[in-house]
Amino acid sequence: MAKKKTSKRSRFRIRGLLLKGLLFIVAALSLILLVTVLQVYWLRDHNPKSTSWMRLRKVEAKEAGRKFELKHSWTPLKQLPRHVINATIAAEDGDFYKHHGFDWTAIKKAYAQNEKTGRIKRGGSTISQQLAKNLYLSPSRSYVRKLREGIITYFLEKLLTKDRIMELYLNCIEFGPGVFGIEEAAKYHFGISARKLNIEQACKLAAIIPSPLRYKVTGPYVIRRAGRIARAIGK
């Protein structure tokens, strides 16, 4: 009889611990969601001076014993030539103004390719997803990171306009060693303000977005890709 009572108390104790654990997980997830909402909502009226990607490059340079000079400034979207925006969309996310943050066709293709190779090589990311990664995440490739990216992307699309997402993207992404944002990219690669970029220059900058530390705007790959981008936007 004593054994039965002890066994019953043990079961109640285990259930209690499981319930506490579940409540802790729910509370932690709720806190993460709340912080994410506040972070994204702040972006409606504030321009970030630093991003996860910028901080990462600074740490990498320090660990390698290299000097790091951050070049980052801001240009409002309305002051940029329209072909800068069109070239970026053509290069990175053709349906940017149509989808709600996720390109499910591209995601399915990426998943199939990753399953085939056994590694996460392709992400199928939209501009909104890339912005989420650049602002808050790391370049690591894992499904956990993709889940976090998806949550942030959802709130970016819910709380911000498409034009604001594009403005944040163009002003925050990497365009070269220590070079972040379209304004500094135009100065670094062409010696001019982003406001004065012509179509060819805009297409070349769009062409290096996937790997700005690997490619040069004068390289054959970028020239070929820029040509395809120009044709895609009808120029």
Beta 179-180 vs 174-176: how paired, if at all? antiparallel
Q: Which two tokens stand for residue 155?
A: 């709130």
How many domains, in total, are found in the chain? 2
Q: Which residues contact 156 (CB under 8 A, 6 or more apart)?
A: 40, 43, 101, 128, 131, 132, 165
Do 122 and 20 belong to one domain? no
pLDDT in tens, the chain (235 residues): 555 556 667 777 777 777 777 777 888 788 888 889 999 999 999 999 999 999 999 999 999 999 999 999 999 999 999 999 999 999 999 999 999 888 877 666 665 655 555 544 445 799 999 999 999 998 877 888 888 999 999 999 999 999 999 999 999 999 999 999 999 999 999 999 999 999 999 999 999 999 999 999 999 999 999 999 999 998 6
Can you give the CATH number for the domain in which 191 is found? 1.10.3810.10
Do 6 and 58 belong to one domain? no
Do 226 and 136 belong to one domain? yes
Q: Which domain holds residue 38?
A: 1-42
